């Protein structure tokens, strides 16, 4: 994803604050078209197309590097980062003014909703650059163990850049020849930001250096970026010595740029400030407050979120206590008993390539089973295919434990659900189904694909997102899977579901502890292991993510509460008339801040 995009994945709105726009239930009646609709839809399309033209990476990720945009497939965004930030901020301000200039009274209810959502996206997207001079409040470090061109571009080239023809392969090489430029831009930005105090903790730099050296430490002809084009051109029967040509670029341009970046990070490491949380940053308290608001789309204070997490940890632990005792695990804390279960040989796949393949096959079986159940709860199902892949080994040390990449808008590339299989012991069998329901169906894949395939929202909203909405939905999806019977007769499967919820509740405690209560990485990891029973390496990777990507970990449980509260309210209002399939059709309205979601569901409920 384009990390400089201001109309991207975050927005802020308070659950207890009034909306910035006009109430959706005001006249005109639902479904009516009014004079401003065509104007605002044209504006949204103009803003979207402008964004695609400015971001070659986004164009390829969405499958829009074709036709008039075909030249983008040979390009990367090589603008110096300081100049790009200023340019994008100025453009965002112009876009906001253009949207605000269209009177809400001239719009239908659907267009009012679109206007409010896009305004939130623009307004909150500008905060990091305008107030703090950085790209993101949630990701304040230019280079870290999960961020930077060294981490993102190899995977982008392998997954988003499709190769079906000779021209696609030539475009790949053209992009490869630009990677050194992007790496040098990152290095220049990191050097400048380090002087301001925005430099990742020393342990993060160590992880980053390890991954950079792994990327750099093989002969150029065996580099993952070279292997990608060689493998895919061979599979398509595209003639040419692609390996040799790609290896020459890697050896002559990319490796020297990586060497420069490695030397810079080694030089900067002794200068990094102590600590692991936001307090180590200049103006860290304000940055974390903005990150938490953006991630959760609420105005909850860090202390409120911390206490909420502690309460939920206690509640979920009590439910797990009953299940674990029934399974014969009665001694020790909940975390200790879960750890015993995690280590049971019956719960483990072999930590071999064969074991990894068996694990992924089990995930695919779970997806197939869930698709058969979905018609009981959904009137509309997505068409986009879903693949399950292992996180590339060269980045698995710093990568998340699991994540989802959306499909291309034009269907040229499937959605991908990645799982980190560095150590198969991190994934006991009873815990895996819930992961699939979260990342796949009825979780991220169903929600994001329905939005992308929706005919009810403009394209600019199909690619936007709100972590609290999407991650909240994914937790709700785990709960819904239980309602569809996947845990019937399987108490350990239900334990896996509750452990997932316990993990997300613990995140509320850990994220706020790290960034507002002076917790160290070690203390946070100790708490995570003791509370959830997850293996220490897996727990530490999670904590390291929270240290360098602030606030996002809190979006899951806050968003889940909003979804369950909205459904309960609709059920209470409609009584016997409540239709679960109809309730879920709100997904076709696209992602939005939580207050707008609450209001939209109330509007749909009022319509009967």
Quickly list DSSP for 429-461: GGGHHHHHHHHSTTTHHHHHHHHHH-SSS-HHH
Residue-level pLDDT at 25: 35
Instruction: Give mean pLDDT, residues 553-569.
Output: 97
pLDDT score of 180: 98
Phi/psi region, residue 272 (left: phi>0; alpha: psi -120 to 50; beta: rest), is: beta
Integer angstrom CA distances of residue 556 from 182, 225, 375, 443, 451 = 32, 34, 25, 12, 19
pLDDT confidence of residue 34: 67
Residue 14, pLDDT score: 30
3-state secondary structure 208-263: HHHHHHHHHCCCHHHCHHHHHHHHHHHHHCCCCCHHHHHHHHHHHHHHHHHHHHHH
Q: Where is pLDDT greater, at 518 or 20? A: 518
Q: Quick check: 23 pLDDT over 90?
A: no
pLDDT digits (tens, 9 = 90+) for 378-433: 999 999 999 999 999 988 887 888 889 999 998 888 999 999 999 999 899 999 99
pTM of the model: 0.90
Tell me if 394 sits within 8 A of 214, measured CB to CB: yes
The pLDDT assigned to 410 comes to 86
pLDDT of 113 reads 95
**Residue 92, token pair as written in the block:** 């965002």
Give residues with Cβ within 8 angstroms of 180, minimum separation 6: 253, 254, 256, 257
Using the structure block, give the residue that is written with the tokens 């060497």: 259
548 has a pLDDT exceeding 90: yes
**pLDDT (tens digit per residue) in 115-166:** 999 999 999 999 999 999 999 999 999 999 999 999 999 999 999 999 999 9
Q: Alpha helices of 64-165 — where are they, by DSSP H?
A: 81-100, 109-125, 127, 149-159
Please give the average per-residue pLDDT across 203-222, as a whole number: 97
pLDDT at 21 over 80: no
Distance CA(360)–CA(372), nearest Å, equals 19
pLDDT confidence tier of residue 33, bands split at 50, 70 and 90: low
Q: How confident is the model at residue 556 (pLDDT cuts 50, 70, 90)?
A: very high
User: What is the tens place of the pLDDT at every residue in 355-384?
Assistant: 999 999 999 999 999 999 999 999 999 999
**pLDDT band at residue 519 under the 50/70/90 scheme:** very high
Residue 263 pLDDT exceeds 70 = yes
Instruction: Return the closest-CA partner of residue 214 out of 398, 451, 415.
Output: 398
Side-chain half-sphere of 102: how many Cα atoms within 13 Å?
A: 25
Flag whether pLDDT at 57 surpasses 70. Answer: yes
For residue 419, the cross-strand partners are 390, 402
Mean pLDDT, the chain, whole residue set:
93
**Closest listed residue to residue 551, CA positions, set 581, 514, 579, 520:** 514
Render 275-288 in DSSP notation, one character per residue: -SSGGGSTTHHHHH
Compare 409 and 184 and report the one with higher pLDDT. 184
Number of H helices, E strands in the chain: 26, 3
3-state secondary structure of 403: strand
**Interstrand relation of 386-390 and 402-405 (parallel, antiparallel or unpaired):** unpaired
Q: Round the CA-based radius of gyration of the chain to a whole number and report it.
A: 24
Q: Is the pLDDT of residue 333 over 50?
A: yes
Which is it for the CA torsion 187, 193, 198, 201, positive or negative? positive
9 has a pLDDT exceeding 60: no
**Residue 17: pLDDT above 60?**
no
Confidence at residue 15, expressed as pLDDT on a 0 to 100 scale: 32
| Per-residue pLDDT at 20 exceeds 60 | no
């Amino acid at each position: 994803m384009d990390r400089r995009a201001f109309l991207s994945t975050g927005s802020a709105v308070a659950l207890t604050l009034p909306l910035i726009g006009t109430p959706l239930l005001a006249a005109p009646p639902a479904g009516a078209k009014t004079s401003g609709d065509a104007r605002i839809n044209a504006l949204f399309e103009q803003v979207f197309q402008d964004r695609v033209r400015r971001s070659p990476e986004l164009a390829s990720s969405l499958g829009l590097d074709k036709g008039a945009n075909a030249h983008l497939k040979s390009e990367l965004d090589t603008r110096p980062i300081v100049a790009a930030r200023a340019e994008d901020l100025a453009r965002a301000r112009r876009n906001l003014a253009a949207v605000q200039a269209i009177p809400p009274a001239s719009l239908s209810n659907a267009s009012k909703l679109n206007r409010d959502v896009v305004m939130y996206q623009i307004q909150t997207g500008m905060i990091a650059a305008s107030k703090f001079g950085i790209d993101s409040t949630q990701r304040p470090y230019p280079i870290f163990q999960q961020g930077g061109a060294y981490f993102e571009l190899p995977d982008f080239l392998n997954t988003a850049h499709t190769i079906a023809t000779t021209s696609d392969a030539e475009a790949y090489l053209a992009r490869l020849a630009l990677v050194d430029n992007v790496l040098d831009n990152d290095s220049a930005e990191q050097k400048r930001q380090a002087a301001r105090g925005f430099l990742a903790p020393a342990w993060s730099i160590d992880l980053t250096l390890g991954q950079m050296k792994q990327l750099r430490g093989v002969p150029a002809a065996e580099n993952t970026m070279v292997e990608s084009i060689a493998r895919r051109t061979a599979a398509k029967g595209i003639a040419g010595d692609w390996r040799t040509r790609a290896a020459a670029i890697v050896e002559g341009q990319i490796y020297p740029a990586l060497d420069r970046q490695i030397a810079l990070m080694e030089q900067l490491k002794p200068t990094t400030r102590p600590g692991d949380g936001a307090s180590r940053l200049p103006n860290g308290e304000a940055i974390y407050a903005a990150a938490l608001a953006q991630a959760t789309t609420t105005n909850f204070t860090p202390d409120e979120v911390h206490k909420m997490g502690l309460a939920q940890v206690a509640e979920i632990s009590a439910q797990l206590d009953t299940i674990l005792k029934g399974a014969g695990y009665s001694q020790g804390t909940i975390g200790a008993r879960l750890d015993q279960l995690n280590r049971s040989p019956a719960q483990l796949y072999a930590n071999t390539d064969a074991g990894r393949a068996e694990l992924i096959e089990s995930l695919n079986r779970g997806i197939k089973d869930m698709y058969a159940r979905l018609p009981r709860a959904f009137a509309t199902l997505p068409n986009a295919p879903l693949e399950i892949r292992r996180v590339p080994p060269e980045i698995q040390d710093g990568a998340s434990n699991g994540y989802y990449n959306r499909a291309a808008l034009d269907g040229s590339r499937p959605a991908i659900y990645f799982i980190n299989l560095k150590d198969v012991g991190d994934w006991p069998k009873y815990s895996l189904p819930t992961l699939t329901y979260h990342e796949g169906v009825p979780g991220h894949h169903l929600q994001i694909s329905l939005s992308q395939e929706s005919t009810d929202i403009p394209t600019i909203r199909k690619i936007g997102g709100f972590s609290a909405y999407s991650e909240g939905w994914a937790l709700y999806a785990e709960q819904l899977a239980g309602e569809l019977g996947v845990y019937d007769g399987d108490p350990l499967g239900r334990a896996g579901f509750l452990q997932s919820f316990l993990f997300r509740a613990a995140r509320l405690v850990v994220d706020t502890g790290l960034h507002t209560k002076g917790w160290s990485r070690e203390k946070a990891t100790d708490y995570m292991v003791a509370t959830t029973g997850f293996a220490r390496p897996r727990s530490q990777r999670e904590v390291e993510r929270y240290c360098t990507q602030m606030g996002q970990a809190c979006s899951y449980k806050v968003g889940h509460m909003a979804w369950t509260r909205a459904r309960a309210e609709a059920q209470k209002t409609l009584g016997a008339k409540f239709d679960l399939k109809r309730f879920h059709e709100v997904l076709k309205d696209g992602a939005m801040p939580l207050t707008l979601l609450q209001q939209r569901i109330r509007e749909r409920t009022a319509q009967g």
